[in-house]
A and B are shown apart, each in its own frame.
Chain A
Amino acid sequence: MNYKLLHIFRNTPFGRETFLQSLYFCKTIKAYPVVYIPKSDKFLMYFSNDAVQVDLDHSYLNSPETAKAHAEALFEEAGINPMFYEPKNFTASTLPDVSTNFDYLCCPRSVSDLSSKIGLGHIGPKVRRIIKHATFPVLISSPVFKSWTGISVFFGGSENAVKSLTLGLKIAMASGLPLNLYTLIEKNGEDYYREVVQKRNMESLVDKYVTKWHFYENEAFDTMLYEVPHDSLIVLGAYGHGIIKELLLGSKMEIIQSTVTNNLLIVGPNCTISLQ
């Protein structure tokens, strides 16, 4: 299949780590990375119900004359045919529209702050908005390139969790890597979660591809996070909470991403994932 991942190239050592991650991800699941080398410090992404303007920080525009050569060198190292994305339409002369017609998008944890600030900090507001509206899953790379040899899906039983399970299965099928399911039991027992899977007719697939389904009690969230293998790709769903709810309650995603160094593949509420 022709899955494509959009990578916004940052011509810095930090950006290189992110790009290596993209390349690794693509090689593992047999997708194609498409690189966009920004020429202005902002671009727009039009989703079905929102226009998100992404303001990039200045390091994205660093030494544009070497950017392409750097990207090509990394492509070559990975043995992938270089592909570049050129925006075709412009909302204003300095504001290109970047197509949203991709299957994955790779983001560092934040696109508009300086890399020094982020380490394992918060997910930037733009990245969050992209996740909220995107019809594709977003790969949030670890700060430093980290290969992974397994897939961990956080499954909470909701609609979105089913999507992330589907995505996890899809990646497991494409890559042939082992898949582990992690569930934090909240109100219902183990059976409830199995029922959810059963209702969606995904039982046979789960039996076939999932190595182990781990269950944890509600308090054991931190234990669970610790026990997730450090060299696995975490697939999880994000919810479309409003900003106030998120400030008051905090979001699971936020805790997860600030605790673990793994690569995260986040399934937003508007994603559509099919197993074909």
Chain B
Amino acid sequence: MELSIFDLSKHLGVVPDTIERWVRQGKLPVSKTGSNYRFRASELQKWASKHNISLNISDKKVPEKKNEAGIPLSHAVQNGGVYYDLLGEDVKSVLNASLERISKIPKDFKPDLLDRLMEREQALSTGIGNGIAIPHPRVPLGYLNEPLVAVCFLENPVDYQAMDQQPVKVLFLILCPDLKFHLHLLSALSFCLRDKSFVQFLNSCPDPGALIEKIDVLQNLNPL
């Protein structure tokens, strides 16, 4: 395998100018063809081991940390599903009713998840005002395969101890296997909920297709 100056500069973490200087100073094994320098990987490897230099020419680099774009909100909503006319008169009962409807959660974990959601509600209400709440557990749920956001429209508004004291009509349940998805989804969701028309749109209990489409449009406006 042959490398160019540019390739090698990537592997050694320096700029091409530095490689050129090292070649001029005679510090790298190089073969020159015309006016181009070529480096042979095998020679470089030998040279590096002789001089105790860590050189990783193979492409097995530690994968760069991906930008935490993760999964788009609309996708997560699709995963989680949209549910209508949930019954219940207090926080616990509506949450329980919601969990019952979400099929992606394994049955055995539902009671535990309910406890965790309640724990979170008791610490600080997730009702963010305008009749909307975002219940979620504080720890990641390892048993889920992918993050999901379930949208639940309540039959009767419930007192949720929200910031603006308004009763809550819509729940966005965020359930994630990993914290980084959680943050991303939370921020994407709050971006959408800042949009007044979207809140009004929610009040009309739209059907799933329209809701997901609307979210899709909105999240594309989000620069993040």
Please give, as numbers and ranges, the residues of chain B lying within 8 Å of A159 by CB-CB distance: 34-35
| A246-B44 Cα distance, complex, nearest whole Å | 40
A91 interface contact, C-beta 8 A:
no
Q: Does A48 contact B (CB under 8 A)?
A: yes
Contact residue among B24, B34, B35 (Cβ-Cβ distance under 8 Å from A48): B24
CA distance A57 to B34 in the complex (A): 37
CA of A272 to CA of B35, assembled, Å? 9
Per-residue 0/1 for A253-276: is the Cβ within 8 Å of any B Cβ (1 yes, 0 no)? Answer: 000000000000000000010000
- In Å, the complex CA distance between A114 and B34 comes to 39
Neighbouring B residues of A48 by C-beta, 8 Å: 24
For chain A, residues 41 to 75, give those with C-beta under 8 angstroms from any C-beta of chain B: 48
Interface string of B5-36 (1 = CB under 8 A from A): 00000000000000000001000000000110
Chain A residues with Cβ below 8 Å from B24 are: 48
A272 neighbours in B (Cβ, 8 Å) = 35
State the CA gap A159–B34 with chains docked (Å): 9
Find chain A residues with CB under 8 A from B34 CB. Answer: 159
Chain B 33-66, CB within 8 Å of chain A: the 1/0 string? 0110000000000000000000000000000000
* Shortest CB distance B23–A (Å): 10
Min Cβ gap A100→B in Å is: 12
Give the distance to chain B from A25, nearest Cβ to Cβ, in Å: 26
In the complex, what distance in Å separates the CA atom of A190 from the CA atom of B52? 54
User: Shortest Cβ distance from B38 into chain A, in angstroms?
Assistant: 16
Q: Which B residue's beta carbon lies closest to that of A272?
A: B35
A272 to B24, CA, bound (A): 15
Q: Which residue of B lies closest to A48 (CB)?
A: B24
Q: How far is the CA of A50 from the CA of B34 in the complex (A)?
A: 19
Nearest CB in chain B to that of A269: its residue: B35
> What string of 1s and 0s marks CB contacts (under 8 Å) between A145-162 and chain B?
000000000000001000
A48 to B17, CA, bound (A): 13
CA distance A48 to B34 in the complex (A): 16
Give the Cβ gap from B5 to chain A, nearest Cβ, in Å.
11
Q: Which residues of B contact A (CB under 8 A)?
A: 24, 34-35
Q: Give me the interface of A with B, judged by CB distance under 8 Å.
A: 48, 159, 272
Closest 4 CB pairs between A and B?
A48-B24, A159-B34, A159-B35, A272-B35
